[in-house]
Structure 1
Amino acid sequence: MASTSADMDPDVARRLFEEGATLVLLGVPQGTELGIDCKSWQVGPRFRGVKMIPPGLHFLHYCSVNPPSCGGETGPKTGLFLTLKPREILLASWDPKEEDLDFSASKNEDEVNRTRANLRDLDPYLGPYPYEVMRKWVSLTDRVTEEVATKLQPLSGRVCAFSDVVPESQFRHSRDRAEHPRNDTACQSMREGLERLPRMKQREGTELRFSDIPQKTYPPGATPAEITQCSMDLSYALETVLEKNHKLQPLNLLGELQFAFVCFLIGDVYEGFEHWKQLLALLCHSEDAIQKHKELYLGLITVLYHQLGEIPPDFFVDIVSQNNFLTSTLQDFFQFACGPGVDGTLRKRAEKFKAHLTKKFRWDFDVDLDDCAPVVVELPEGVTVD
């Protein structure tokens, strides 16, 4: 890790030196990919941690790397959200068996005090927090409070790029194994082969705890007309999510949207992207809610402005633009947000955001997406196409 950025204001550097938190990370193997928030490095031989970390929420992430003699492959990314206090010291040591950081030493007050007393000796081995990414990090997580992060992250405290799965059935007894399909004969079909595989489930405590998006978007006992209306306007489903998960603080739903985005963008968790898409679709297709929840939707525009500004341009081609997801979703949002009955401030902000996206990404939100569908051309009788 490099020394303190020469571009950092001296007053800021001094304040961070005095008030910043410190992560002391001992025994991390050389070559490990390790980062905090929006930046990562390869660990060198002298690395012992990170200093001058601004107080608040941060995302520490790392990937174990095999030595060159063993191929040098990089393992899946692991991350954890930390809420750091001014001058706080967190201690962790690398567990080579688990290939993970063990923070149990942070619970030992005597050990923490000894480390604090030896900080001057440790200082040459501590890399400074990459302050140049601080503005970007805050713009991506300003709605993610400690409460939101604690509620959403796995009980294990680790956000893992690859799910930790175990068999649904343990087959502890011979009778259980005897009843399971045998694997010593050839499969007659792909389906038979898949059926022979043990059913897997995510290890308890490792699941991200996102809000459940209701599959039924209409209330119990709804008439056919109400079902149709609630399928076109998802406000009932959105209100259900808010009532169940964010009743006291509806704006925390924006924190969940940011949390999911960071898990995907930085943590490499594809489930985060899927949940981000589901939440975005729910918010953008809720016409009545847009008129009711002014502050929620003003915040949504700001959140999306920063999120879309951080995605590489080719990302839209590869993932987001599949089936016109983002353009069609935002097209509906702009249609509702610029309609009658919407607060004037929200309407102006939506129009400005629409113009920004049109200019930056050359998206046309006014075109009828149905016009982009394949057109069936009837040829004159007797004419064929080779």
Structure 2
Amino acid sequence: MSSSFKSSRADMAASGCVDMDPDVARRLFEEGATLVLLDVPRGTELGIDCKSWQVGPRFKGVKMIPPGLHFLHFCSTNSPSCGGETGPKSGLFLTLKPRQILLARWDPKEEDLDFSASENEEHLERIRGALRELDPHLGPYPYEVMRKWVALTDHIGQEMAENLQPLSGRVRAFSDVIPELQLTHTKDRAEQPRNDTACQSMREGLDRLPKMKQREGTELRFSVLPERTYPPGASPAEITRCSMDLSYALETVLEQNYPEQPLNLLGELQFAFVCFLLGNAYEGFEHWKSLLAVLCRSEEAMRKRKELYLGLITVLYHQLGEVPPDFFVDIVSQNNFLTSTLQDFFQFASGPGMDSTLRKKAEKFKAHLTKKFRWDFEADLDDCAPVVVELPEGVAMD
């Protein structure tokens, strides 16, 4: 999904910063962190935050990186003689300090960056002493995407990123899966039941395949959303009410994961979105979709948690403003997920007892989305795709 942010092919080793304010450039040069990335093969697609490049022969890292949270992502590319195909993407969240130097070498066997050299202080000091020689080979941080990146991640702190990131330290586009039943010996495999007859259906063929599971330590560690949206011992009437208003499910998630800081749930929503948008991890999209559905369909919680929902609108405004043009056509608009979810949200936001500030902000957001994507949230979305409507000029999101 990061292709929309990808720049044209570049060496990414120029020492200048195009169109950057001189004072900002000087401050970043003095206070910015440096990623020294050695032996990265030419042609590798590598990016930081919302921009990526194809690495040139002189590339040895990125300099002038603003302190704070960043997402480094990369994928290897075969040589032109092998077709020049790009492999699956990997990424990791980094929290960098002022003037910090982080060192990694490319591991050709794993097709990954090995940061173990950063644990050697003596080695880092040698790198620090050689920065002047390295400088022409370090590409400047793409400062033009900094505002965009901050808007997409302003609720994510270092601790949250560490807690949600896989234990393996990598966000991967494709899940690392292994068979549920480990058969390491020929004798074990021979004892498994066999069926040598031809499959009569696709379902039968799938049933014969080994059952797979995600390798432990490689999964994103999101909050677990409750399968049951109503409290234990609920009456039929309560079950119906809690199925239409998911506030009980939302409060359960907040109590279990963010009891003291409920706004941190927005950070998890942002984390899931970045993992999908920039890391191509579909697991991130699935959680973003599920978490958004719970938030948007919790009417009672909207009345109680004004700040959470004011923040949600801002988060969604920035997220939906940065996705590629075909994002909704290919994925989000399947089964009208986003339009139907937001339709419920806007209906609740305009209901009785809602805070007037929240109601007005929701109305502006609704008008903004209607104009930007030409969705009609007043239509019945059960049997049709998003309806295109014509709006007069001048309707915009403040």
TM-score bracket relative to the smaller structure: over 0.9
CA RMSD of aligned residues (A): 1.6
Query: Structure 1 CA distance, aligned partners of 2:354 and 2:159?
Result: 31
Contact 1:181–1:196 at 8 Å: present in 2 too? no
The partner residue of 1:118 within 118, 127, 130 is: 130
Moved more, 1-10 or 345-354: 1-10
* Cα 1:195/1:176, change in 2 over 3 Å: farther
The partner residue of 1:49 within 56, 61, 68 is: 61
What is the correspondence of 1:1-386 to structure 2 with a 5 Å cutoff?
Answer: 1=12, 2-182=14-194, 186-370=198-382, 372=384
* Cα 1:183/1:78, change in 2 over 3 Å: farther
* Cα 1:72/1:117, change in 2 over 3 Å: same
Rg: which structure is higher? 1
DSSP-derived class of the 1:216 partner: coil
DSSP-derived class of the 2:221 partner: coil
Contact 1:182–1:196 at 8 Å: present in 2 too? no
DSSP-derived class of the 2:102 partner: strand
Shift of 1:283: 0.3
Matched residue, 1:379: none
Shift of 1:186: 4.2
The alignment's TM-score, normalised by the length of structure 1, stands at 0.93
Moved more, 348-357 or 273-282: 348-357
Query: Structure 1 CA distance, aligned partners of 2:383 and 2:85?
Result: 47
One-letter amino acid of the structure 2 residue matched with residue 333 of structure 1 = F
Shift of 1:174: 4.2
Equivalent pairs counted in the alignment come to: 373
Shift of 1:195: 2.9
Give structure 2 stretches of 5+ with no counterpart: 1-11, 386-398
Give structure 1 stretches of 5+ with no counterpart: 374-386
Contact 1:32–1:65 at 8 Å: present in 2 too? yes
DSSP-derived class of the 2:71 partner: strand
DSSP-derived class of the 2:103 partner: strand
DSSP-derived class of the 2:326 partner: helix
Contact 2:69–2:94 at 8 Å: present in 1 too? yes
Query: Structure 2 CA distance, aligned partners of 1:40 and 1:313?
Result: 18
Q: Deviations over 1:50-94 (max 9, x none)?
A: 000000000000001111222221110000000000000000001
Shift of 1:370: 5.0
Query: Structure 1 CA distance, aligned partners of 2:321 and 2:273?
Result: 13
DSSP-derived class of the 1:201 partner: strand
Query: Structure 2 CA distance, aligned partners of 1:371 and 1:187?
Result: 36
Runs ≥4 in structure 1, deviation > 4 angstroms? 183-186, 370-373
Q: Deviations over 1:103-123 (max 9, x none)?
A: 001011111111111111110
Shift of 1:14: 0.1
Query: Structure 2 CA distance, aligned partners of 1:363 and 1:187?
Result: 45
